[in-house]
Every structure is written in C-alpha cells, then in structure tokens.
Structure 1
C-alpha cells in the first residue's frame, strides 16, 4: 500500500489535522477520511525507529476483534504475523501462579503485537481511505481566526505551519495540544523500566514457546513479561521515587529480575549478557479534562491513559481514535452536541477503568506497609497542570 504525502489535500481546504500517527491518530484519520473529510495525518515515525528503543505497549485483548471488524480491518489484521496471547499467568495476592485463559472468551484469543508494524498497518489503512500523511513532528499549536494552526518540523529540519478547521491531539501522554487547553489529572507516580531480550543460549527467541503473559507482584511494585515477535519484553512497574539508581543499569535490572520468582523462571534460557540497559517511561493513569473544545479534541493517551495492569491501552486508543474522528466529522457537519457526546463516552471509560483498577490492586494484600501498596489504598488523583 503506497502512502500519498503532502501538505494538504489535492483540492480544497484542510478540514482536520491529526497530530500523532499511533493507533489513536491513525484510526481518527481513517474515520475522518471515510466520512469524506479532507484530513492530514502528521506522523513523526515510530518512537523505536527514532531512538533505537523497543516500543512498549504490545498487548491487544480479545475485545479488540469486534472493533477491528467494525473498522473493516479484521481480515487484514488476522493475516498479519502477530503472536497469539492465549491468556495470563499471575502471582497476585498469592505466591502461587494462577492462570487465566482466553479459551472461553467470546472473542477468542488476544495478541502480542509487533507494535511498529501494527501502527504502520493502521496508518496505511488511513491513507488507503483517502487521508494524506506528512512525516513531521508537532512542535507547536495556536488558534487564530477560527482556524487551528499547527507548527511542525519536517525530517529535513524545515518548520512549517499547517492550517485546518479542526485538530486531533493524538500525541500520546505528552498531549502537546491538550495540555495547554485543559487540566491533566495524574493518578499516581507509576513508571515502567523495561527491556527487550532477544538472545537465548540455544534456539534463539523462537525457541521460547510460552505465549501467556506473566504478571508477578513484588513488595516494590510488580513485573510482567510477554513474548513478542522480536523476543521477550520484561518490565518492572514501580513509583518513580521508589526506583533506585541501580535499576537504571543493565546489571541492576538483571539483579532485580533475579529476586523475582516466576519472572526469573520464565526467562530461563535467555542469555544474561544480552540484557540491554532498560528504558524508562511514564506509566501512570492520566486524564485530560475536558477532552476537547472549539476546534480541537484529544484521543488515545492524550485524552486518557491507563496503568498497564489493565492491558487496555491499545484497545482504548483504537476506541477513542474512532470516537474522536467521528466527533470531529459530526462537528464539521454542524452537530454541536458531538463533543459533549464524546466527553460522556470518555467519562464512562474512566469510571470503568477506576473501578477495575481499585479492585485489582485491592486483591494484593501481602505488603500493606510498603509505600507502593499503601499509596494505592488511598487512590488519590493529583492535578498535573491547568489550562494555559
């Protein structure tokens, strides 16, 4: 599938610019293009390609299947070479490892994605539907005279201004547009230290047959590991102030893994010498309020981000991208209630997330005095910033 590129549509004025080419942004552009709107997707390229880092966020739950069907993407997605995820093994609330299978899920199994390929697949679908794409990084935004003006830096270094009637902020947790226009509420201080293991003593990572996700709670937080097409991802989730400096080194990360029980066992066969320095990323729950206003709307992690324990991040990005794209299309058609309807949808998503988040953490009672677990008993949400 060949992408069309350019500063705007071949004829007519840009009606929407989508900032960010991840799952939320690509699906928003797809929905807008299918609605017949002149839409431009601004994509700086996959984070992993820019920094050499593995793109974390690799699990797609079974509930994604009907959404992919509705978007007309299921057949092509199913033909791609993502790994199946038959379920989860968890040591949570108990030292024993308990399994949860997708065998009886009405939607079937889940998937461990090659994220860069999955994101590219969604962008190509948007382009096939009629969206344009520009390889650039968003560096600024302003509203003027009823227009949204997006400042972007192209790969060659040139800085240009793009004008449209609407802009979709799909810039991830950075929320480059929404953070200036709305209040961001942070749930806690959760961060993830993660690495990708690709070398096994024998057989390569293809010799690792275990496709279940493994989750293990520890006094300082929790761990998870999952097989992905490129190898095996290993991540430690803890609060930023509880993460010691040693954990930021390859040796310290290996030492912390060795103190686990089940994660350590799952990694048997991988060569410790092939364990790179871990990467770090924010992993706390986050909510933008309101998620939109005159001429702009946020989608994906820019609108609402989840603790990875939920395994709902990519699915929510797809849902919010589709809803945000539809809301903008409706607003362009003169339906003034479209933004309120989108905000109400996000309220329902947030309510369900907070209910399940509190219930999940409440199941782990082995270390009630440790700061990580004691903090989650209160469930406090902290404002991160206001409108600017």
Structure 2
C-alpha cells in the first residue's frame, strides 16, 4: 500500500476542482487532486456567463474560450411572463458576451491545463476521509494519503463538507436534458441563439452549440416528470408541444430527437458554513443554484479561487480569510434566493400551476 502527502488535497473533479488546482499551483503549493474516473458523456451546463471571463483571466486560462468548439452567446431570446419573445443583447455586459460551451471539451481542456502545471492527479474513489491531530487521513482504494487542508469539490452531495456543516435545499428542481442533431437532409441554417421559454409545468432552455447541435433542457419538479420520460422519446416530444417557440425552432431547422433524455439534479442547495477548521467547500458543494441564474460555472470559479487563497492562508495560521469566505458564500446564497423569488414571480400566466406555486413559497433563510 502506497502513501502520499500534500499540504492540500482537492476532492472532486469538474470546474471548481480544476480551478482550485490552478490557483494553488500559481501559489507554488503542492496539491493532491483526487478525482473520480471520467465517464466521457455530455452533461448539461453550456452557458458560461460573461462575469466568468475575469476569473478565467485571473487563472491564466481565458484563452480556452477561443477554441473552435465554443461560441459567443451574443443573442438570448426569452418568453417569460409574456407571450412574445424578448431579445436581450450581450452588449449590455461590460465583460463582453457570454459563451456557449462544449462543456465536456471545456472540462477536458481545463484538466489538461491543470496537469501541465505539474499538479498530481489521482483517479480513485475516496472511501474514507478522517481528520485527526490537524491532519486529514484519506483512503483511496489501495492508496492512502494525508493532507493538512481539504477542499471539497464533490458537487451537490458535498461528500466531505456535509459531515461538518448543515446542508440546505430550497427546492427539488430536476432537468431532463438531451442534445439534438440536425437531420442529414436539413437545409435550414440554425440561428446562433439561446431560447428560454416557460410553460405550465416548468421552463425550457435551448442553445445552439458551435457544432450546430442543439442543447435542450427542461426544468421541472421530479413529481411532474412523466413516467418513462428517460426511456421513451415520445414523452419529451409530448412535453415539447406545450412550447411555442422552441418546438417551432426544432421543427423548422430539422433537429431530430433520436434518444430519450437523461435526468440530472438542478436543485438549489448550499452548505452553511461553507468552511471550517482544515476544510472548505467549493463549487456546487458550497452552493448550487437554480440554472436560471446562469452563474453556476461562475460560482464554481469564484469559490475555487477564493477558497484556495483562504486555504493557503490557513496553512500559515491565518484563519480570517477562511471565515470571510464562509460569510461571503452565505451572503451570496441569500442574494440569490431573493433574486430567484423575484424572477419566478415575473411569470404570472401559470400562477395556479403546482410548479409555479411552489416557487412563490418564501425561500428558507
């Protein structure tokens, strides 16, 4: 059995874990990055807000957005609270336009950049994480590891942080998601746009990716998802009929629904406090927001950078940055919950429907 040791261990892959690695590498702090085996399948989450660009620049990786498989998100249309489509132009963002990512390619490139900085990655399942005498003892299959500080980047499950802080959940939102390809004989060129459209049972998101496939997500409560939705394409086709604009876009361009959608969590959850003695939660482990916010990846980057700085300070005995980080995460959660209620209250056409009634209930403090 081999043993490894580093000042800081980061548990979990994804954007937050990789970003924390990059930040700590820039600070010349050795990191042990423990990640699960990658399954190599597409997942939802293409929209990178313009506010993420300064954070990517801070990490020295803004150039990753220049890859040909991403595109600028210059145009967003929404049918929310009213029947007509409303266009919002990206020119209002001082940072520039948002970006529609090939999410899987972006995370792959991010991992490659991390490894190029000399970060040691271990692909293994963490089975035990115990803290004793100010030292974390980690069991990774046949390997053991030790670290003075631990960053939890394990997503909404918050596998480590949940044992040291309280978990909260504001809703049970779920996403049915899939990626549509154009039919071989399609002759209509799709518009480079993103559409958001609300219906009686939830809301839809559709975005054209750089490769001209369409990312399609339907957000609703689990209780409202029809049986067989992830087994029968006809179920999603039926749900799509309630949309006015997205269904027309799919039909006019010739996108085909060839396989049933998959399902993913999209609920608003958070940990409080988001940090403690020898640990901090980052990314979705710290706070995961309703995708309507479009700031999931921005939050992942900000928490990773800020918590990495706080962890570095903690190694030298400075605990104030860690407490400040936890306070800022808590404040951000409350700001989001207020904004969330405001946005959902703008949709009054379906006020008598269960999905929308649930979102008029005051958010938990």
TM-score range, shorter chain: over 0.9
Measured against aligned partners, the alpha-carbon deviations of 1:305-339 in whole angstroms (never above 9, x if no partner) come to 01011111011101111111111111012212121
Q: Which residue of 2 aligns with 1:221?
A: 202
Supply the distance in 2 between the matched residues of 1:182 and 1:165 (Cα, whole angstroms).
Answer: 19
- Name the stretch that deviates more: 361-370 or 372-381: 372-381
Relative distance call for 1:124 and 1:93 in structure 2 (3 A) is: same
Supply the distance in 2 between the matched residues of 1:196 and 1:168 (Cα, whole angstroms).
Answer: 32
Q: Which residue of 1 aligns with 2:174?
A: 191
What SS does the corresponding residue of 2:55 show, helix, strand or coil?
Answer: helix
Supply the distance in 2 between the matched residues of 1:46 and 1:357 (Cα, whole angstroms).
Answer: 32
1:292-307 equivalences under 5 Å are: 292-307=275-290
Q: Which residue of 1 aligns with 2:120?
A: 132
* Structure 1: unaligned runs, 5 residues or longer: 1-5, 154-158, 383-388
Q: Which residue of 1 aligns with 2:44?
A: 56
Offset of 1:102 from its aligned partner?
0.1
Q: Does 1:244 align with 2:232?
A: no
What value does the CA root-mean-square deviation take over the aligned residues? 2.0
Offset of 1:275 from its aligned partner?
2.6
Q: Which residue of 2 aligns with 1:235?
A: 217
Supply the distance in 2 between the matched residues of 1:305 and 1:208 (Cα, whole angstroms).
Answer: 35
Q: Which residue of 1 aligns with 2:264?
A: 281
Aligned length: 361
- Name the stretch that deviates more: 102-111 or 319-328: 102-111
What SS does the corresponding residue of 1:165 show, helix, strand or coil?
Answer: strand
Supply the distance in 1 between the matched residues of 2:330 and 2:224 (Cα, whole angstroms).
Answer: 31
Supply the distance in 1 between the matched residues of 2:243 and 2:57 (Cα, whole angstroms).
Answer: 40
1:21-100 equivalences under 5 Å are: 21-47=13-39, 49=40, 53-79=41-67, 81-100=69-88
Offset of 1:344 from its aligned partner?
1.7
Q: Does 1:381 align with 2:342?
A: no
Q: Which residue of 1 aligns with 2:248?
A: 265
* Structure 2: unaligned runs, 5 residues or longer: none
CA contact (8 A) 1:15 1:164 kept: yes
Supply the distance in 1 between the matched residues of 2:315 and 2:146 (Cα, whole angstroms).
Answer: 15
Q: Does 1:336 align with 2:336?
A: no
Relative distance call for 1:76 and 1:251 in structure 2 (3 A) is: closer
Scaled by the length of structure 1, the TM-score of the pair is 0.88
Q: Which residue of 1 aligns with 2:6?
A: 14
Relative distance call for 1:226 and 1:46 in structure 2 (3 A) is: farther
Relative distance call for 1:348 and 1:125 in structure 2 (3 A) is: farther
Measured against aligned partners, the alpha-carbon deviations of 1:9-67 in whole angstroms (never above 9, x if no partner) come to xxxx41011111211001111111211111011122444x1xxx421111101111111
Q: Does 1:364 align with 2:356?
A: no
Corresponding residue to 2:297 among 306, 314, 319? 314
Supply the distance in 2 between the matched residues of 1:211 and 1:350 (Cα, whole angstroms).
Answer: 32
- Name the stretch that deviates more: 63-72 or 90-99: 63-72
What SS does the corresponding residue of 1:259 show, helix, strand or coil?
Answer: coil
Relative distance call for 1:200 and 1:76 in structure 2 (3 A) is: same
Measured against aligned partners, the alpha-carbon deviations of 1:69-115 in whole angstroms (never above 9, x if no partner) come to 22221234335531221131111001111111102321111111111
Corresponding residue to 1:152 among 128, 137, 140? 140
